[in-house]
Amino acid sequence: MPSLPDLNSIFESKIEEQGDNEPSLVKGTEQEEITHEQFIQAWKALANQIKKENKINLYTLMTAVPPKLVANKIEVEVENMVQMDVLNTAKIDVLNYLRPVLRNFSLDLHGVIMAHDVVRKPYTSQEKYQAMVQKNPLLETLRKELNLGLS
């Protein structure tokens, strides 16, 4: 009877195969001041390069909302955790492009999740009535004067 492979040994061998082949950030000592115009120009050039590489998810993320440059921190607004994962995956490549081009090696990239106001649509008759009362409070007065109830 053949024995089953040990899962622990399989995962350990995969980790050994991967090693330290992950890309690392470009290092340098330059920290020139960056104007907003220089930053946006470099950001757009990178976005166009990413579009040519057919990385549409990242391109859309980079062009949907203009990034903010606060000191040496780049803040990119994302709508959800999927976009945050896309940004975090591409973070090293983006910084490796921007740091030498802008001659500032202290730049860092962070994702900021946008706040969404969730509007819940009223479904029950009570919820629909409450929504109408919020739009027109006199409706409640009319209901009381006519001695009406809700069904």
pTM over 0.85: no
Q: Does the structure show a pLDDT above 70 at 16?
A: no
67-119: pLDDT as tens digits: 998 888 999 999 888 889 999 999 999 999 988 888 888 888 999 988 777 77
Q: What is the 3-state secondary structure (H, E, C) of the chain?
A: CCCCCCHHHHHHHHHHHHCCCCCCCCCCCCECCCCHHHHHHHHHHHHHHHHHCCCHHHHHHHHHCCCEEECCEEEEEECCHHHHHHHHHHHHHHHHHHHHHHCECCCEEEEEECCCCCCCCCCCHHHHHHHHHHHCCHHHHHHHHCCCCCC
Share of the chain above pLDDT 70, in %: 83
Rounded to the nearest integer, the mean pLDDT of the chain is 83
